[in-house]
Structure 1
Amino acid sequence: MDQKLKLLTTESRNDRTMHIDTAETMEILRLMNEEDQKVAIAVQQVLPEVETAVKFACESLKKGGRIIYIGAGTSGRLGVLDAVECPPTFSTDPDLVQGIMAGGEKAFIKAVEGAEDNQELGARDLQDICLTANDTVIGIAASGRTPYVIGALCYARSVGAKTIALSCNKQSLISGYADKCIEVEVGPEVLTGSTRLKAATAQKMILNMISTATMIQNGKAYENLMVDVHVSNFKLKERAIHIICKTTGASYESAKEMLAKAQNEVKTAIVMLKTNQDYTQAKVLLNKAEGNVRKATAIVES
């Protein structure tokens, strides 16, 4: 093994699990659970850095830019996973939050050998989406040394995009190529080097925080409800109706009728009910409030 690789926390052996191969099932599960409980504490330590990432992301969206996750292997898949959940959860354009991984879409299911070792490929993948200075790029690598991610971050900085390096080792190599680094050290894995475990859990938690906090600050929530949910199936329609009921006090039937009048736009339906305005007027209020339901209703109340 590369001597530098040996020094990484993500490649260190866990003294608590040295005999896990002889353990009974419940003992294996207990050990894993105890190790997993350390992840949230590790994430807590880097919240100030995550806050900066959210700030960058919010600024990008205000400028008409995008949030781009980029990584290889498990790290890349986690970025894709977070990105693809944004359209149904927040009714965002699929291009607004994007997940790119080494080897392309086919690598999500089956590893593309060697792709993560290619710096030029990382840069080229960002060129292919016409990256601009308005975008924020979040490079993800548990080890913190993936060449593909380094190439991507270098290119992103060259065009003036904001850059974040998310890794699970202190003084990670990728940190030196970003405007801000998030180094969440979760300690040695239950199975040495298997960063799909604690490291991946920490990465997913942080990506969830970045996307969710950014969307909340961009008016995608009212109270703690997903008022910009995309009504694309029966389950989501029922959720939308219940959200309208909870926020306005309307009956189920009234909420259902208003959702239809609002062209399945939950925020618009809420504003219509709360302000007694029609669809067009409610849309005007939301536009004035930059999509924020609370601010839109306050315009009428004031």
Structure 2
Amino acid sequence: MCKLFSAPKFLAIGSIMLASAMSPSFAANISFGGVAASDGSGLTSQYMDPITGATVAGNYLIETFDAATGVPGFPGSTEYTKAGFENECAVNSINSSLLGVSVTADPTQIGIRKGSVKSVAAAPAGDNTCYGYLTNNGSGVATAVFDYTPMLAFFDNMYSDQAPFGITYLGFYWGSVDTYNSFKFYSGEQLVSSITGVELLAALQGSTGDQTSASSNTYVNIDFSLQEQFDKLVITTSGIAGEFDNLVVGITGQPIGQVSVPAPSAILLFALGMVGIGYTRAKRK
């Protein structure tokens, strides 16, 4: 049976409103805090159990970077998995399904692994599972793009009366936050909002690169308005490194002339099973 979180405590320490440089009418509500993950991966969204894929409310999908949480028949990609972790780590949202998420990055700058390696990557505090990281390898700026438009297009085509579908929530566990890390959110080519390491550390009074403190290892929750319809995440770093885990997205449709509605549960259940980042989970050995 799927295990739901019971009365999860949201450990929000504070919130900030970050307006897009493109349009002052766009703003995202950003807060900090999550719940202890049931799989030993540190923190996760209050909406999602990383092992069972069970949600507390609404329609949410999770990327854990753990191969064990993929769906048989649609194995995740090990393109970015570091040597020695091929049987444990994968990007489950990259697969042969039309519902897959498009991830674009230089393979030498992005990695999926377990554990910490000095001058390479540090696992987020309390995270004993697979996680993702981005590094500039000592020079320049490294970029990774998580593009959710293929999945959203599927919903738009199947339920045109509720289109456009968009991502109105995104959460992620940000480990050992550094001043040179940033997460940017786009609707198409338009920048909707962003959060930088400088802003997070200032809000929580944290120290850059601290690998254990709750003020620099925290779950970030971003709620977007319907007008934003977020569909693409761009992660950048100009140092070593930016670490993240338990990416959770919430999908919402906007019927013309009506209030927002969640994605139809039957088709979302199918979608989650197809892309391997939702309800049906393989049991860990």
- Give your verdict on TM over 0.5: no
Larger Rg: 1
Larger RCO: 1 or 2 (CA < 8 Å, sep 6+): 2
- TM-score w.r.t. length of structure 2: 0.30
- TM-score w.r.t. length of structure 1: 0.28
Structure with the largest fraction of strand = 2
